[in-house]
Structure 1
Amino acid sequence: MPSPPLAEYAAPRDCDLLLTGGHILTPDLEKTGRTVTYQDGAVAVDAGRIVAVGSTTALRGAFRARRGVDCTGRAVLPGFTDAHTHLFQSLARGLGEGMAIWPWLREFMWPYAIAVTAQDARVAARLGAAEAARAGITTVVDHHYAPTDTETILAVADAVEETGLRGAVARGMLGDRTAVAEARGLPTALYRYSTAEELRITAECLAARPAGSRVQVWPAPLNLSYGDQDLVRGAVEQARRADVRWHTHCSEGAKDPASYLDAYGIRPVAWLEKEGLLDERATLAHAVWLDEEEIAAVGARGASVAHNPGSNAYLASGTMPLAALRAAGATVALGTDGPCAGGRQDMFEVMKQMLFTQRLATLDPASVRCEDALTAATLGGARYTGVAPGTGRVTPGAPADLAVVDVSSTARHTPLHRLDSHLVNTAQSSDVVMTIVAGEVVFEDSRCTRIDEEELYAHAREHAAALTRRADITGHTFQGAPTC
């Protein structure tokens, strides 16, 4: 970890925030391939950025802090990026249990999504963003597709920002109905806009929330396997013009590539490559069922993937070929896939599931290590989104997006031998005691600092009750129809 040039300060320098006495952890892939820990360390923050990292003794002498925080017994690490979530799904948490991906979509999620109103979406986004802040997540990519008019998309982005987070609202688009969508039985009510209308609305949202915004808007074709090809082309062109990323569900279910191959004579990622659409702006959620050529293309084009091991296990969708994608050069981030595909937005749980699912798939406990999971959840996520260059590390000059985690106060935290392993295998989101975004404390003392959580929870319960009744999914016994 770089040491700050403290000797140049003849007198203490002012800073906004000084975290002292903690275990400072940061990825260090370029030098060691591992995480680096600074014992009895300190982090100085000023004007939204980390200005120094070093020993507590050195930084206490070098800085005069407007606020000091004793982090003894706590870990200070980069804030997490949730690289693929659906915040609007927070009002249906716990429903859809025990179903494979396609029945889950057809019988549960799509009826729910069709019934969501703009008011529901805003409340759900605030609820999901609050849950994220409480879990040490500082950046989210919210793949939002219910509803997607300009006003709602911007309201969702406002809700995320009001909570204090960074990120992107990836506007889910379907466009003109395709033969694949027809054959697979997507409900017509999902198709609210033509391809031209989808791109026009997205352009309006991009203009209102451009690159450089704390919460951006990204073009986001809903799913490569059944989306309109012209829509995908248009989305990629929009992302390039606007200098933002683009996002999509990619080969999540086992039959996604096959249905695309049947319709077009080519697999979906291979089509992106052939058309010159696969690029460094591509953020592909899931990427479970890729063949060798597609994996090579993702890496060669500098694309990124969001690994969602929890939801892939929850829906029995399969296991992403992590080792092959990493070997090909793809950037790998981690996602929760929202509150409905596993129960909660907890990146500690997702990191552990990354280890477990990959080790089970390979039958090799050394195939992926705790430092790989921590890196994917922090530095990998920062590179994946690009919304705040420099995040994902605890190092001077980086934006001050940090999570402070209690690793000392309960039986399961005793003893502490190796911090990175402990964070991945033992810690939980409830251990987060502070979340900092751009130098601002947005969660502390068991509460979000920017919003009234009790009022939010009351509104969420009201909206959830009305919404699930309206969608006719309250108490519904899902049949788990065969996949198609």
Structure 2
Amino acid sequence: MPEPLREQQPGPLPEQQPGPRPCALLLSGAEVVTVDDERTVYTVGSVAVDGDRIVDVGPAQEVDARWQPRRTVDCRGRAIVPGFTDAHTHLFQSLARGIGDGESIWPWLNQFMWPYAIHLDAEDAQTAVRLSAVEAARAGITTVVDHHYAPSDPETVLAVADTIEEVGLRGAVARGMLGDRTKVADARGLPDALYQYGTAEELDLTRQCMAARGPDARVRVWPGPLNLSYADQDLVRGAVALAREHGTRWHTHCSEGAKDPQSYLDTHGVRPVTWLAREGLLDGSATLAHAVWLDDEETAAIGAAGANVAHNPCSNAYLASGTMPWRPLREAGAVVALGTDGPSAGGRQDMFEAMKQALFAQRLATLDPAGARCEDVLQAATRDGARYAGVPDAGVLRPGALADLAVVDLTGVAVQPVHRAVSALVYSARAGDVVMTLVGGRVVYEDGHCPGIDEEELSARTRERAHRLVERAGFGTLTTPWRHRTGRLEGTS
């Protein structure tokens, strides 16, 4: 199992100060699931926030007496959890939600996602990203790793980062890169229209984007080779070098489809993760999405390097791609986080759904009801997600940590009775039960609204651009109301 983070020690205890101290916000009376070193849960607890940090966590009676807040929120009947990290998503894909159903990964890409990406323009992308970022905020997601590749010109990439930040989230935009065309890409039939830039130009453009959003940016830019199986090897080398130069991480799809490792082996004489390790490219800056089809050597290499993996259980089930080796990766030493893989490969950006699906997928794959537990997946969605994203001060509720958190209503009939908060959150709660999301102490969602966002206007603009895109890309047959696999309408009896 991965070693726990070395937590920063809090400063002087609040009770050492004379009288109640001022703070900005007090969330009072909740079940507080801290995911701290001791995995403490306060059944009637409070969290005090000032500036961008948590300043106190503990039993409500004690915490409430120590602080004089400018605002108090009664959280009885609710749970407070660290904000979720969506470790792998494609925010730009929301305009095509629900119309790529019933195909495995490569037909899905060739017949649906590549045409969608090619026909997307910059305004489409920004609209889709704004919608998806709002959806994430409403779901208690505070950090996203967005693998963005359509369009991938610097202006659009930087606008995407700006949009995520404007909604209030933190994280990274991994600029999707292909570089020079490879033999694997030829064999897989990737369309020429995807190849706008060669390897050297891709790296230069990514360097420009990274420089524009430096270390102080809430949303940074990472190098994002699109897929290990068909990306140019020099592109991957350059991406790792860029990440090391700028002190960021790098991101890629890794062995998602069953044929990915074999096609790489046939072309290069080595499996993709083994190649990374042999080249000295596999370390703690690597964030690998999916990692479903690994052999034992690759699993061990990822763990030994302290690399990071994003498990996307809903997407893997949607595309019938397989199940990631959850326990072997964690036992090897990998940091395993959870992702939604965006709104086109499963429908929702809902980390509650991802947690539950991760549990069920592992239990089905191993036939072991203890193969994964609700504590494991909650940690993956919060604390380990923050580690994965390179935000070590998040993912935990403790004094001194970033005030990135979600408040979840547990009073609904589908959640009652709550015998244990952790199991209620994983098995019963949904994204719609989130009532408040804070990022760096700022309220980015509360009781049905994202401050500063006209969601009605955003939804209308999204529908308009989506309809135009469907027509432009020729997706009409994918939108019929009742379909066979062939796309024909099916009559009703």
TM-score, normalised to structure 2, is 0.94
- The match for 2:365 is 361
- The residue identity in structure 1 corresponding to 2:88 is H
Query: 1:411 is paired with a residue of what secondary structure?
Result: coil
Structure 1 residue 286: deviation in Å?
0.1
| Contact 1:98–1:480 (Cα < 8 Å) also in 2 | no
Selected match of 1:20 from 7, 28, 32: 28
Q: Verify: 1:320 aligned to 2:328, yes or no.
A: no
Distance 1:228 1:468 in 2: 31
Selected match of 1:212 from 216, 223, 230: 216
Distance 1:238 1:7 in 2: 46
- The residue identity in structure 2 corresponding to 1:375 is Q
Query: 1:448 is paired with a residue of what secondary structure?
Result: coil
Distance 2:164 2:354 in 1: 21
| Contact 1:225–1:251 (Cα < 8 Å) also in 2 | yes
Distance 2:247 2:204 in 1: 17
Residues 59-111 of structure 1: per-residue CA shift (max 9 Å, x gap): 22211101110000000000000000000100000011111111000000000
Residues 20-48 of structure 1: per-residue CA shift (max 9 Å, x gap): 010000224x54xxx43101111010011
- The match for 2:441 is 439
- 1:10-409 → structure 2 map (5 Å cutoff): 10-28=18-36, 30-31=37-38, 35-386=39-390, 388-408=391-411
Distance 1:7 1:112 in 2: 57
Distance 1:106 1:471 in 2: 13
Selected match of 1:411 from 406, 410, 413: 413
- The residue identity in structure 1 corresponding to 2:30 is G
Query: 2:402 is paired with a residue of what secondary structure?
Result: coil
How many residues get paired?
475
Distance 2:84 2:29 in 1: 21
Unaligned runs of 5+ in 1: none
Structure 1 residue 183: deviation in Å?
0.9
Structure 1 residue 212: deviation in Å?
3.1
Of the structure 1 ranges 448-457 and 118-127, higher mean CA displacement relative to structure 2 is found in: 448-457
Distance 2:435 2:417 in 1: 19
Distance 1:210 1:367 in 2: 40
Q: Verify: 1:458 aligned to 2:460, yes or no.
A: yes
- The residue identity in structure 1 corresponding to 2:465 is H
Query: 1:75 is paired with a residue of what secondary structure?
Result: strand
| Contact 1:103–1:480 (Cα < 8 Å) also in 2 | no
Distance 1:202 1:392 in 2: 28
Distance 1:167 1:480 in 2: 40
Distance 1:416 1:12 in 2: 32
| Contact 2:55–2:399 (Cα < 8 Å) also in 1 | yes
Selected match of 2:428 from 420, 426, 429: 426
| Contact 1:314–1:341 (Cα < 8 Å) also in 2 | yes
The alignment-based identity, stated in percent, is 65
TM-score, normalised to structure 1, is 0.96
Distance 1:225 1:339 in 2: 23
| Contact 2:102–2:485 (Cα < 8 Å) also in 1 | no
- The match for 2:15 is 7
| Contact 2:125–2:150 (Cα < 8 Å) also in 1 | yes
Distance 1:52 1:58 in 2: 10
Distance 1:255 1:212 in 2: 40
Structure 1 residue 474: deviation in Å?
2.6
| Contact 1:168–1:218 (Cα < 8 Å) also in 2 | yes
Distance 1:209 1:231 in 2: 21
Query: 2:34 is paired with a residue of what secondary structure?
Result: strand
Of the structure 1 ranges 51-60 and 282-291, higher mean CA displacement relative to structure 2 is found in: 51-60
Structure 1 residue 475: deviation in Å?
3.1
- The match for 2:470 is 468
Distance 1:63 1:27 in 2: 23
Query: 2:320 is paired with a residue of what secondary structure?
Result: coil
Of the structure 1 ranges 446-455 and 146-155, higher mean CA displacement relative to structure 2 is found in: 446-455
| Contact 1:404–1:433 (Cα < 8 Å) also in 2 | yes
Query: 1:342 is paired with a residue of what secondary structure?
Result: coil
- The residue identity in structure 2 corresponding to 1:182 is D
- The residue identity in structure 1 corresponding to 2:426 is V
- The residue identity in structure 2 corresponding to 1:153 is V
- The residue identity in structure 1 corresponding to 2:243 is A
| Contact 1:107–1:478 (Cα < 8 Å) also in 2 | no
Of the structure 1 ranges 144-153 and 205-214, higher mean CA displacement relative to structure 2 is found in: 205-214
| Contact 2:120–2:150 (Cα < 8 Å) also in 1 | yes
Q: Any runs of at least 4 consecutive aligned residues in structure 1 with deviations exceeding 4 A, and if so which? A: 1-4, 477-481
Query: 2:464 is paired with a residue of what secondary structure?
Result: helix
Of the structure 1 ranges 54-63 and 279-288, higher mean CA displacement relative to structure 2 is found in: 54-63
Distance 2:33 2:62 in 1: 18
Structure 1 residue 6: deviation in Å?
3.0
- The residue identity in structure 1 corresponding to 2:400 is G
Distance 1:379 1:276 in 2: 27
Distance 2:201 2:446 in 1: 43
- The match for 1:449 is 451
- The residue identity in structure 2 corresponding to 1:120 is D
Distance 1:373 1:364 in 2: 15
Distance 2:183 2:371 in 1: 40
Distance 2:462 2:70 in 1: 36
Distance 1:393 1:237 in 2: 31
Unaligned runs of 5+ in 2: 1-6, 488-493
| Contact 1:221–1:227 (Cα < 8 Å) also in 2 | yes
| Contact 1:78–1:392 (Cα < 8 Å) also in 2 | yes
- The residue identity in structure 1 corresponding to 2:395 is G
Structure 1 residue 478: deviation in Å?
8.8
Residues 310-349 of structure 1: per-residue CA shift (max 9 Å, x gap): 0000000000001100010000000000001000000000
Query: 2:476 is paired with a residue of what secondary structure?
Result: coil
Distance 1:182 1:460 in 2: 34
Q: Output the aligned Cα RMSD.
A: 1.5
Distance 1:319 1:46 in 2: 42
Distance 2:45 2:87 in 1: 29
